[in-house]
Chains A and B, each alone.
Chain A
């Protein structure tokens, strides 16, 4: 698609004036007459039996309307919370999960009771007065230990703690290793991370016993899935449930899966006959919103002495937490992407999902792809180190170059140009110059390292054939509806739902360009299940543009096809003789004979239509992509490690990415910057820590869980190459997760290279000063 006035233009974000002046509307900005407030009583123990719940004191507090426990909720809720097959379809053990604990609590923060009161303060006071008697049980904290047959159980009635254990075989791994001249091994930890969206979760529900319908406002990345799940659990026809997800203050994957409160709040509304609202506190958020990552990899890579990569053998031990996250097994895609951008003879990847007494893990920005990339890029660097080769050279030697490229697991990379992004990144970062400066710095005893990350991701979920099974029946396609109103204004509805990605802007650019109307004429709407097509599939996995944008595009094409027929009728010409440019149909050779699309739209509501044509100018379209899309890029990070304190300073950061055609470069840059920030945060700062003995959350506040700010982050140098995707007519790929997938490996490779003169080969994340100091101390001994 060509760059035009709108496509490829740095259009300022239409949503910003509202959002940055404080006029966004988040869950807490929504209220209802007679609203009541819910607080959740949560288990302070990671694992315990519930012996009794005394609610008398809480009930006695004036202003308290109800104290509800599992027994009450069984009257209005049924079934277990959903778990999808995702990338680990052969589950061994899936513990049942009712939204509120009855007999046993299995993670700290699991709901035990709820209080509904006239105001939020009272609700919190009353929650403190609910007295729960527990019998504490041993907490299972370490996922590797939990795999041992003798381990205590996460659920007392479980067979063991193994959620799944399966191996993906991509080629003859033994044959590949038998030819090895060099083998490197590493153990790589992906620490647990807390997504920490700026807006915490929140749910407001209003059930009407008279019309037997439910309205639900919640901060969600995919309101239609929530409607499906909640209507099922409450036994309300899906058509009588409306889910509204207004402005969403960040999600990063943590607002995809349904949560206990998504059921408890509407159920409480039904039990009380009053509207109910619950707003998650920051403390609850760190403790009970899903965590990401939480994986331990052991890997070995085999190569020939000339640098030809042969085989990669790995095991992923994935800390599931106390229950399977709804999409938790998605994270096993780390295994499928562990080969990265390289040609390998064979890859064998075992994934083991292990239950622990912690909050469940689920997709967090990148979800499996950052882990796969980090693993692959660390192993390639370890190999370069072992072979004494320049890491850029080893990469180049093994790049996949022919596209479509089928990886070891049969996944087809649609297009790529890995040399192109690497060349540009080396140039932009002044790689050769840094190599010289590094040599000089090392001569002075300074610890300077240069790290590369050449990455590829699978995104744009996804083709129906591949995803219907993985989600348990509903294929991840996308829907859109576009309608011209008689005045010529355009309402565009899409089933994705932005939470910071700027869809109001980019999708409007796309629709305005395709239909040839001014940007101002397009109103983009999403996030309300009462509007638009029957079902939407949500925003995650960098899918919105390549699937949702395409649905808008195909709906626009349908509109244009009808408009062409009508314009031809009005101009008394043949549809084939019309040209459509700049929003108007003209008769070829007679530019005077002209109808703008907005004139055609008005006419479509009138009486002068061709025979057999119905009134109106609107279309619903579903887009089912033939493949995933495969963005890629090359990042270069230069760091200096303070030899005395272990502090890491990022001296330079460069990212060159390729997401195919670009609708709005400014938004792409913003997404890449944010993604890099989040990945540097993992590399250097963030880690959810549970006490290894007691299982208590140690990093429970923002004082202990170190989310870095712009002060701690570099301003990356960014550039782009453009390799259009052949998968869709727009030639687009995704960019929402790219930076997060790329950066941690670049940073850690740089840190490891900096420390190499001391004999240190590997550093786990976060590479905090105290950890590096300890490593340097040990290396010095």
Chain B
């Protein structure tokens, strides 16, 4: 890696991290697992003046059940989510997603908070957060997931704001995440997530637009008693997916429908 020059400091707590960010100014950045940031530094697409290393902020590495909510600290690594019994019991879909992020090395370093802050269109957890109405807790406020993700790589976070926690509703019922990709460690070309709650099905889609999408049309067709095939037919309604070397927009629309139907069939 041959990044441009930057300053570097380590933070041991949320307070320290925020103070260091403030002091270093608007060009400073947090570095967590580094699995998204380091590739950008390497290509010099990102040239921060200062990196605040939050890997020592142990207070953000936890999974806490609380009532019917599951609170997950921002510094929780993907590999922890895969192994956590609490996650498997209360929100197994999160563990299923975590197991499909990158490869073992990436999972050992990358963090939940990093995925939210980075806001890649192909990030997996944002889909879960949006479809289940999760809440993102920062050092200063709480933001609903649907308001947090604003555009490609763009969130509601201020320059000096730290993601501290994500609060998900518990959902132990039938679920499935199908991630369509070419290689085992690739990002999703398209992903479809389904989760059955007491109130009905929740359906989310990955990488069919600049941010994660909740497939409301599919949910309401299911609510109205439609078959999985009929309901999944609405998965592409209103989507404006990207076209790239991997997939055209049309193909993504098609995949959204196929994967949604398969996820429903496999979850049920």
Contacts and interface: CB of A to CB of B under 8 A. Distances in A.
Interface of A: 120-121, 124-125, 128, 281, 283, 644-645, 647, 685, 689, 698-699, 701, 703-704, 706, 708-709, 711-712, 768-770, 773-774
Contact of A712 (B3, B4, B184): B184
A709 B186 CA distance: 11
Contacts of A770: 246-248, 251
B182 A768 contact: yes
Given A701-B43, A704-B245, A709 B183 contact: yes
Nearest to B4: A125
Given A121-B2, A124-B2, A125-B4, A706 B183 contact: yes
Nearest to B184: A711
Nearest first, the 6 closest Cβ-Cβ pairs linking A and B are A711-B184, A124-B2, A770-B251, A644-B258, A770-B247, A712-B183
Contacts of B248: 770, 774
Contacts of B62: none
Nearest to B182: A706
Interface in B241-259: 245-248, 251, 254-255, 258
Contacts of A647: 180
B185 interface: yes
A281 B2 contact: yes
B184 A709 contact: yes
A703 B247 CA distance: 14
Interface residues of B, number: 20
Contact of B5 (A125, A281, A708): A125
Given A645-B180, A698-B245, A709-B183, A774 B251 contact: yes
B245 A689 contact: yes
B254 A773 contact: yes
B44 interface: yes
A124 B246 CA distance: 31
Contacts of B187: 703
B59 to A, nearest CB: 33
A769 B189 CA distance: 11
B242 to A, nearest CB: 13
A774 B251 CA distance: 8
B134 to A, nearest CB: 27
B185 A709 contact: yes
Contacts of B3: 121
A482 to B, nearest CB: 44
A281 B44 CA distance: 13
Given A709-B184, A711-B183, A645 B245 contact: no
Interface of B: 2-5, 43-44, 180, 182-185, 187, 245-248, 251, 254-255, 258
A647 B259 CA distance: 13
B183 A128 contact: no
Contacts of B255: 645
Given A712-B182, A768-B246, A774-B251, 6 more contacts: A120-B2, A645-B255, A706-B182, A709-B183, A711-B185, A712-B183
Nearest to B262: A644
A685 B182 contact: yes
Given A644-B258, A689-B245, A708-B183, A128 B251 contact: no
A711 B183 CA distance: 7
Contacts of A699: 245
A773 B248 CA distance: 11
Contacts of A703: 187
Given A645-B258, A698-B245, A704-B245, A121 B182 contact: no
20 contacts: A120-B2, A121-B5, A124-B2, A128-B44, A644-B258, A647-B180, A685-B183, A698-B245, A699-B245, A706-B182, A708-B183, A709-B185, A711-B183, A711-B184, A712-B184, A769-B180, A770-B246, A770-B247, A770-B248, A770-B251
Nearest to B43: A283
A572 B58 CA distance: 83
Contacts of B254: 773
Nearest to B187: A703
Contacts of B184: 709, 711-712
Contact of A773 (B183, B246, B251): B251
Contacts of A685: 182-183
A312 B3 CA distance: 54
Contacts of A644: 258
Nearest to B252: A770
A694 to B, nearest CB: 14
A504 to B, nearest CB: 30
Nearest to A705: B245
A709 B180 CA distance: 16
Contacts of A120: 2
B5 to A, nearest CB: 7
Contacts of A701: 43
Nearest to A771: B251
Nearest to A122: B5
A124 B4 CA distance: 8
A353 B245 CA distance: 27
B208 to A, nearest CB: 14
A768 B180 CA distance: 13
A691 B192 CA distance: 30
Nearest to B44: A128
Contacts of B183: 685, 706, 708-709, 711-712
A9 B29 CA distance: 57
A200 B168 CA distance: 44
A197 to B, nearest CB: 19
A774 B245 CA distance: 14
A768 to B, nearest CB: 7
A709 B44 CA distance: 27
B105 to A, nearest CB: 12
A604 B5 CA distance: 63
A125 B5 CA distance: 8
A179 to B, nearest CB: 45
A747 to B, nearest CB: 15
A712 B255 CA distance: 20
A493 B51 CA distance: 51
Nearest to A642: B258
Nearest to B2: A124
A121 B44 CA distance: 12
Nearest to A710: B184
B36 to A, nearest CB: 11
A711 B104 CA distance: 13
A708 B182 CA distance: 8
Nearest to A701: B43
Contacts of B43: 283, 701
Nearest to A643: B258
Nearest to B190: A645
Contacts of A281: 2
Contacts of B44: 128
A126 to B, nearest CB: 12
A644 B44 CA distance: 39
B207 to A, nearest CB: 13
A280 to B, nearest CB: 12
Nearest to B247: A770
A706 B183 CA distance: 8
B201 to A, nearest CB: 21
A779 B182 CA distance: 24
A768 B248 CA distance: 12
A121 B4 CA distance: 7
Nearest to A685: B182
A701 B246 CA distance: 13
A379 B183 CA distance: 30
Nearest to B261: A644
A117 to B, nearest CB: 12
